[in-house]
Amino acid sequence: MTVESVQPETSAAPAELREPPLAGGAVPVFGHGLQLVRDPLDFMSSLRAHGDIVRLRLGPKTVYAVTTPELTGALALSPDFKIDGPVWESLVGLLGEEGVATANGPRHRRQRRTIQPAFRMDAIPNYGSIMEEEAHALTERWRPGEVIDCTSESFRVAVRMAARCLLRGEFMDERAERLSTDLATVFRGMYRRMVVPLGPLYKLPFPANREFNRALADLHLLVDEIVAERRASGQKPDDLLTALLEAKDDNGDLIGEQEIHDQVVAIITPGAETIASTIMWLLQALAEHPEHAQKVRAEVESVTGGQPVGFEHVRSLRHTNNVILEAIRLRPAVWILTRRATADTALGDYRIPAGADIIYSPYAIQRDARSYDRHLDFDPDRWLPDRAKDVPKYAMSPFSVGNRKCPSDHFSMAQLSLITAAISAKYRFEPAEESDSAIRVGITLRPNNLRLRPRPW
């Protein structure tokens, strides 16, 4: 799926600008934070009924919620808004201040130039054999009829693919398990800090705070291990970590250790979290919609002639790709994003003051009945060319747009296509008795405790 990068109108004549309405239901001290904690997806999805932009209270802050595809596109493309706000403030503790995910301005542009070669279209085939190995290894670990823990399995394959492709690291499963456990704790804690910003209270030695700090420290220790192992090896493979170790700043000096650390964190952790969450939702979709699982299997067999699916087949797996897009539409891993206004500006017909935080939900945008027929149905065929043209611009931007567009979009889709094709060619899935596919909301969305039984076709 492609997204046009044409900036919509973001301003209006001064006399036309107005204050966005305040959403109802705010309570003293917490504002709308309690609603975001109790039922965040429903709350964000309800806001469009109150306006294109709605004011929220999160603790002492006023936050502007954008609810329409057109204005979220304008927000992402306008230079008047930067990466910042509640989501990014909560991520700084994990990603640091010197990585590409949280940097702005010239530093972001320089960092993006450093990592971009690893994700060019002509570079991705170099990762093809590794992606194939990991996708097929995933299916070979499973035994027909035995319950699989989809959370740990999804993280394992996501981490191993990222490590082997981008860092050339031969990671053992124990490290993937560490990352999976740590990320679950850290992202849950960061979400609490975002929606209920109680500041100093999060520094007190409560059990939840101690658990958060332990997990965060272990994540950073894991990254230090990765960098130290590479330096000790003396090897310089043509990968992203070598590029970082040899990257130079604007003065021509090698970038500092902290920036290298933050860049590796930005490569491994958000990518592993979002790809793993998406794999979980794909497994859930294949179990819940066996007719599409069967259609993917038939497509794979037709394209490969019955041979194991490989990287060279990815471009021909059209229905498989549409299944992935539809899973992402209904259950986007990244369900909430924020920006901050750099100056007094306008968005649509509304006045946005300098320093204001803006929030929007891809989950709400992508499930809006105003943009999609049968908006809650799982319908991969809606992405066929003759139907996809009816989807409003920016109503589906799974990798964002503009200068903050995810640089690894093609890399991620290749991973997801190979994994979906490999598992569907070999297995159909049934929910285990203890499975819980309810949505678990944090910084990302994932099933609460998805457990499936693979069955041979």
3-state secondary structure of 3: coil
- Whether the predicted pLDDT of 4 surpasses 50: no
- Whether the predicted pLDDT of 154 surpasses 90: yes
- Whether the predicted pLDDT of 219 surpasses 60: yes
Least confident of 6-15, 104-113, 149-158, 378-387: 6-15
Which residues, 6 or more positions from 425, have their beta carbon under 8 angstroms from its beta carbon? Answer: 297, 300, 301, 304, 308, 309
User: What is the reported pLDDT for 5?
Assistant: 34
- Whether the predicted pLDDT of 426 surpasses 60: yes
pLDDT digits (tens, 9 = 90+) for 329-383: 999 999 988 899 999 999 999 999 999 999 999 999 999 999 999 999 999 999 9
HEC per residue, 332-395: CCECCEEEEECCCEEECCEEECCCCEEEECHHHHHCCCCCCCCCCCCCHHHHCHHHHCCCCCCC
- Whether the predicted pLDDT of 85 surpasses 70: no
User: What is the reported pLDDT for 14?
Assistant: 47
User: What is the reported pLDDT for 406?
Assistant: 79
- Whether the predicted pLDDT of 58 surpasses 90: no
Q: Which domains does the chain have, with CATH numbers?
A: 14-456 (1.10.630.10)
**Higher per-residue pLDDT: 378 or 3:** 378
User: What is the reported pLDDT for 22?
Assistant: 92
Least confident of 115-119, 174-178, 295-299: 174-178
- If pLDDT is split at 50, 70 and 90, which confidence band does 185 have? confident
Q: Whole-prediction pTM value?
A: 0.86
Task: Give CA–CA dist 407/411, Å, rounded.
Answer: 9
User: What is the reported pLDDT for 252?
Assistant: 87
Question: How would you classify the pairing of strands 357-360 and 427-431?
Answer: unpaired
Least confident of 98-112, 211-225, 440-454: 98-112
Comparing CA positions, the residue from 197, 411, 438, 441 lying closest to residue 335 is: 441
User: What is the reported pLDDT for 61?
Assistant: 84
- Whether the predicted pLDDT of 277 surpasses 60: yes
User: What is the reported pLDDT for 332?
Assistant: 96
* Cα dihedral across residues 219, 130, 277, 438: positive or negative: negative
Task: Give CA–CA dist 372/119, Å, rounded.
Answer: 31
- If pLDDT is split at 50, 70 and 90, which confidence band does 173 have? low
Task: Give CA–CA dist 69/82, Å, rounded.
Answer: 18
Whole-number percent of the chain with pLDDT over 70? 89
User: What is the reported pLDDT for 99?
Assistant: 60
Average pLDDT over residues 440-455: 92
- Highest mean pLDDT among 105-109, 172-176, 264-268 belongs to 264-268
Question: End-to-end distance of the chain based on CA atoms, in angstroms?
Answer: 30
100 burial level (CB within 10 Å; 0-12, 13-18, 19+) = buried
Task: Give CA–CA dist 402/75, Å, rounded.
Answer: 10
Comparing CA positions, the residue from 271, 274, 288, 270 lying closest to residue 438 is: 288
pLDDT digits (tens, 9 = 90+) for 18-45: 999 999 888 888 888 888 888 999 999 9
User: What is the reported pLDDT for 163?
Assistant: 83
Comparing CA positions, the residue from 397, 380, 277 lying closest to residue 320 is: 380
- If pLDDT is split at 50, 70 and 90, which confidence band does 311 have? very high
Average pLDDT over residues 105-116: 75
User: What is the reported pLDDT for 171?
Assistant: 59
Task: Give CA–CA dist 352/359, Å, rounded.
Answer: 12
Q: Share the mean pLDDT of the chain.
A: 87
